[in-house]
Amino acid sequence: MRAALTAALALAGVLHAAEPWQDARRSPDARAAALLARMTTEEKFRLIHSEFGEPEPSRGWTKPAGALGSAGYIPANPRLGIPALQESDAGLGVANPLEIRPGDGATSLPAGLAVAASFDPDLAQAGGAMIGGEAHAKGFNVLLAGGVNLQREPRNGRNFEYAGEDPLLAGRIVGAAIRGIQSAHVLSTVKHYALNDQETARNTIDVRIGEQAARESDLLAFELAIEHGQPGAVMCAYNKVNGDWACENDFLLNRVLKGDWRYPGFVMSDWGAGHSAAKAANAGLDQESAAEAFDAQVFFDAPLKAAIAAGEVAPARLDDMVRRILRSLFAVGVFDHPARPAPIDVAASMAVARRAEEAGAVLLRNEHDLLPLAQPASIAVIGAHADKGVLAGGGSSLVTPRGGNAVPGLQPTAWPGPVTYHPSAPLAAIRALAGQARVDFDPGTDPAAAAALAARAQVAVVFVQQWAAESIDAADLTLPDQQDALVEAVAHANPRTVVVLETNSPVAMPWLDRVGAVLAAWYPGSAGGEAIANLLFGKVDPSGRLPITWPRALAQLPRPVLEGAAPGSPPPTAVNYDIEGADVGYRWFQRQRLEPLFPFGYGLSYTRFEHEATKVRIVDGVPQVAVRVRNVGTRAGADVMQVYAQTPDSPVRRLAGFAKVSLAPGEARTLTVALEPRLLAHFDVASRRWVRSAGDFALFVGHSATDLAAPVHVTLPAQTLDP
């Protein structure tokens, strides 16, 4: 009876301080070591591979007993009080396909690009805390979140999960989101490590790139995200990097992550990214994910046992794998704060999602101050199921909406679908703010009918969309379903046309010069309809700035043709990222002297800001840039002060610091930004250190990567940065 009670208390997460690992006053390392010492070999092996948590009858998969029903599951260990690991995908919210409470669903943030476009780490952290809180209240304690892959490829179907093209912005935003998730005592990953920058041939492609270029771009984004967020786990990617699979890549896992960065957590494989036992274990993989469903076999069971018995893997390596997993669980609070069902404040979650969309939508065009709408007499709302909801991206990050899919039945209905709309209808939100104005809707399927409605309205608001998803890339940037013809027809009928983009990434806009305003809403999330209406009517100021460069044409890209993306085209075996190297996005455009359609950092406001009196001082060898920002317009708004640095080694400017500030009309405030030292240096492969060259550094303050004031010059001595 006593043993049964002890087991029940352990499963419930009730810890008694009789055992040293149950003492929360001890460090995570000490607790992990104490628990590891009590584990049998079989108990250790049970912790290093998870099961797939979802049933799939067509493929013979059943939901494991005890699993909540999501991405992954490892059973509890009642003898030692180790809680079950309940894992859910969570790029934008708790992606819980089986819905622990039927019909409940979860709250989805807008696209990761929208959160990045806010240039606001505090907002990203609040979003992460919301997701972590909902996960904890659903019983999940591990979230597969933290996507920080850089946007090298604007046609990548998974860009909406990530945080743009710049390593500093992406690393800080994603790090803050991870910090928010883990504040709820839910372990977060950072993913997909590394250079998983396209979906085409993602399971086979070999990414070719030199070490210095990788360290100064994609790997720097991961390095910063890990420093700022301290994620409990790193998820390694599907692709190869310079010939080796990412999940058995000694350079990525042992040399860089665990060696140079001294990462104390564990590495888990992506679902289907495991390829070996001995090689993967020796290269640094600590946990194999859902292997029985996705890998060729469960490598981290019998094959790894055999490898250890044969002397191919040291027994100490198994202990290191388990120690790292336990340490992360202790560090995040998974043991001490067990996840169990609890009420969710849905209104508070929705408010977080709405604020994220309001801060991340980017106003790209606003001719003659068409926006904000000033109580027009009549409005035509057209297209993109705006009468029902807002579009979401597809794949493992898809969050099941509360209330269900607002537009069910659209193809594809199977993976990576179903195509899903969150039931936050822009039409209803616009009507709620339009006062006495007449607001009519047209589905946009017939351009002539839509144009006729637009001609009768004072203002036309056209919603256009581009569904994208994990596992597929677009072949080009063209809007599907003849939507360009729709916009052309509406704009011809009514020059006071506003276009709202619900898209994964940049799209071609051949009609741009003929419309009055364009708002990039990305995938707007659970409260997207209300947020879009608030922006259109000026209840909030659009303060998003582009986290990506918007090209004029595919010919401007390092790889104008994305091999394998077009239907029927053969998949590529490799991709060459040494073409642009570390100069991703706006840095490539500078290097090639190309003019984008819209530059990185760009975004309009309903007010105007001036930057005054730039001053630089050196503190502990690092420049700090102080700028007085003034709102010289007539409305309250928010500005993003961006600082770009040009080093003596390079002709290319890099974002080295940024800050966002909200100001009332006429208000001014001085912002001080300490520049990121690695953006003032280069990575020296021989010494494996960041090295700053001596010489003249030009520091540019401005509103985007191309809208910059005259530089301030500082002379800095050579410096090798501490590891």
Omega within 30 of 0 (cis) for the link into 426: no
Question: CB 428: neighbour CB atoms within 10 A?
Answer: 18
Tens-place pLDDT, residues 3-53: 444 444 444 444 445 899 999 999 999 999 999 999 999 999 999 999 999
Token digits for 171? 């690393």
The CATH code of domain 607-720 reads 2.60.40.10
Average confidence (pLDDT) over 276-286 = 98
DSSP 3-state of 181: helix
pLDDT in the model for residue 18: 82
Where b means 16+ CB within 10 Å and e means fewer, 540-572 reads bbbbbbbbbbbbeebebbbbeebbbbeeeeeeb
Distance CA 70, CA 54 (A): 5
DSSP 3-state of 88: strand
DSSP for 105-164, please give it. Answer: -B-----HHHHHHTT-HHHHHHHHHHHHHHHHHHT--EEE--B----S-TT-TTGGGS--
Residue 299 has pLDDT above 60, yes or no: yes
pLDDT in the model for residue 13: 42
Distance CA 180, CA 184 (A): 7
Catalytic residue numbers, as ranges: 270
Specify the pTM.
Answer: 0.96
Token digits for 339? 């996840």
DSSP H or E segment with residue 682: strand 682-684
Distance CA 650, CA 644 (A): 13
Mean pLDDT value across the chain: 95
Question: CB 441: neighbour CB atoms within 10 A?
Answer: 19
Tens-place pLDDT, residues 333-357: 999 999 999 999 999 999 999 999 9
Average confidence (pLDDT) over 531-536 = 98
> What confidence category does residue 100 fall into, taking pLDDT thresholds of 50, 70 and 90?
low
Amino acid found at 489: A
SS3 letters across 598-617: ECCCCCECCCCEEEEEEEEE
Average confidence (pLDDT) over 241-256 = 98
Tens-place pLDDT, residues 199-225: 999 999 999 999 999 999 999 999 999
Tens-place pLDDT, residues 629-671: 999 999 999 999 999 999 999 999 999 999 999 999 999 999 9
SS3 letters across 539-579: CCCCCCCCCCCECCCHHHCCCCCCCCCCCCCCCCCEEECCC
Query: What is the length of the chain?
Result: 723
Q: At residue 201, what are phi and psi to the nearest 5 degrees? A: 60, 30
β partners of residue 668: 630
| Residue corresponding to tokens 């057209």 | 382
Going by the DSSP 8-state scheme, the letter that residue 214 receives in this structure is: H
Residue 250 has pLDDT above 80, yes or no: yes
DSSP 3-state of 638: strand
Among candidate residues 254, 251, 252, 225, the one with its CA nearest the CA of residue 236: 252
Strand pairing of 187-193 and 142-144?
parallel
pLDDT in the model for residue 60: 76
DSSP for 613-633, please give it. Answer: EEEEEEETTEEEEEEEEEE-S
DSSP 3-state of 67: coil
Residue 235 has pLDDT above 80, yes or no: yes
The CATH code of domain 2-12+29-332 reads 3.20.20.300
> What confidence category does residue 672 fall into, taking pLDDT thresholds of 50, 70 and 90?
very high
Domain ranges, ordered by start, for the chain? 2-12+29-332, 607-720
Least confident of 96-110, 448-462, 486-500, 507-521: 96-110
Among candidate residues 550, 522, 545, the one with its CA nearest the CA of residue 641: 545
Amino acid found at 37: A
